Structure 1
């Protein structure tokens, strides 16, 4: 098994004591500030550095054969804020890597995770992972090659939008229903990761604010 999975499950098994449901219409996370974010390392350390590019603040991520992520625990009520929105930018994609649906190719320049904790039954933890892929086309989706509890969904693909900030808005509640076949009322954590541990290649990305919003 990929070592990142038991570590991820162990982390998320602790989320049963996460903060109470957010009651505001907008729940905002700001990765560039790192306040309230924690590091989880799987293979070496991806560097995460707050900075500015193109006149905008963000969190710069650079991986060279490494995999570590940042996560933030907060229970989000999807009946109030079912929409997730964020900005991201990829400056360097891995070149000529393995099949991204395979264990050897399970590396992405940018990932945004939302996590539903299984509580003490950590093996029931489920994760939806939005990715910027190098080769798989936008709209592609599959079970993570290491566990069916993690569902992959490609939002951006290839070099077309490289080195430019891109904005994403998703109906997270609907995406979770499609991924797992049921209505999920809340999520327990959000995470970001730029990782290249399986292929040993390099990638570079930026992350902006991540928001949970009420439906329009």
Structure 2
């Protein structure tokens, strides 16, 4: 059964979206990775994701569907959203520190159906067929009082610690590749568009990112150095535009 978050719509202002940061990840029990490394969907059987994956959606929303499926002879993560919202969170057992060795985040992804009316620049269009997000262990005491209060309020309502910084790589439907912007609801989440439109629709695309460099571009206004990574999240939503999307994610690697 999915872990349903409490009623976020009752929260004022940005507090509602504070609950959405990387799905407000829970530290699920089970087999955790010992260090940065391979997240191998290809090694999992078809069906639901096992621990330590944690699924989070919202009350009153249809959940985005995540599951291991066979495609072109290999097992991959299938992500289907139809007027839905959902995050699939992979919590790391402890902080993965990239200070000693530069961290790269590498993965393959594929979008077969874009969320047609999505526009991540606006609240009414804040949807995407596929995002890969990384949350950081940023010292929230360095945030302003208002942002700290909203994070505390989010924790009270969810029972989960809300990440103070989340960077999402987006397969968008319209914005130019390389676009960087803040989430329309909260500065605690920031976007980098890596793929856009239908040019590569239905094709596997490989990505490899220098995480520290991307962090500096996205959050350089807050910190001179990248904090430790605390979780990785696969996300897709279409609840704001009431559309649909279909995408796939291949194995994810986090390491030097």
1:170 counterpart = 2:209: yes
Task: Determine the structure 1 residue equivalent to 2:191.
Answer: 152
Q: Indicate if the aligned counterparts of 2:23 and 2:89 stay in contact, CA closer than 8 A.
A: no
In structure 2, the residue matched to 1:193 is: 235
Question: Residues 134 and 168 of structure 2 are in contact (CA less than 8 Å); yes or no, is this contact kept in structure 1?
Answer: yes
| C-alpha contact 2:136 2:227 (8 A) present in aligned 1 | no
Report if the CA contact (8 A) 2:104-2:254 is conserved: yes
Distance 2:17 2:41 in 1: 21
Of residues 75, 96, 108, the one that matches 1:76 is: 96
Q: Which has the larger radius of gyration?
A: 2
| Correspondence 1:50 to 2:63 | no
Do the aligned partners of residues 152 and 84 (structure 1) sit closer, same or farther apart at CA in structure 2, a change above 3 Å counting? same
Listed as ranges, the matches of 1:1-216 within 5 Å are 1=13, 3-8=16-21, 11=24, 23=35, 27-31=37-41, 33=44, 34-35=49-50, 36-42=52-58, 43-74=61-92, 75-79=95-99, 80-95=101-116, 97=117, 99-118=119-138, 122=151, 125-181=164-220, 182-214=224-256
Is the contact between residue 88 and residue 207 of structure 1 (CA under 8 Å) also seen in structure 2?
A: yes
SS at match of 2:201: coil
- Assess, with a 3 A threshold, how the Cα gap between structure 1 residues 71 and 21 changes in structure 2: closer, same or farther: closer
Cα deviation code 1:157-216 (max 9, x no counterpart): 0011111111100001110011111211411100001110111100000011111121xx
Deviates more, 1:152-161 or 1:73-82: 73-82
Contact 2:81 2:236 in 1 (8 A): yes
What is the CA distance between 1:27 and its match in structure 2? 1.0
Contact 2:103 2:211 in 1 (8 A): yes
Deviation at 1:129, TM superposition (A): 0.5
- The alpha-carbon deviation at position 117 of structure 1 amounts to 3.5
TM-score (norm 2): 0.73
- CA drift at 1:107: 0.3
**1:69-94 deviations in whole A, cap 9, x for unaligned?**
10011132212351000111101012
Aligned partners of 1:66 and 1:200: how far apart in 2? 8
1:7 positional shift: 4.7
- With the length of structure 1 as denominator, give the TM-score of the two structures: 0.85
SS where residue 213 of structure 2 aligns?
Answer: helix
Alpha carbons 2:177, 2:196 under 8 Å: kept: yes
1:21 offset after TM fit, Å?
9.7
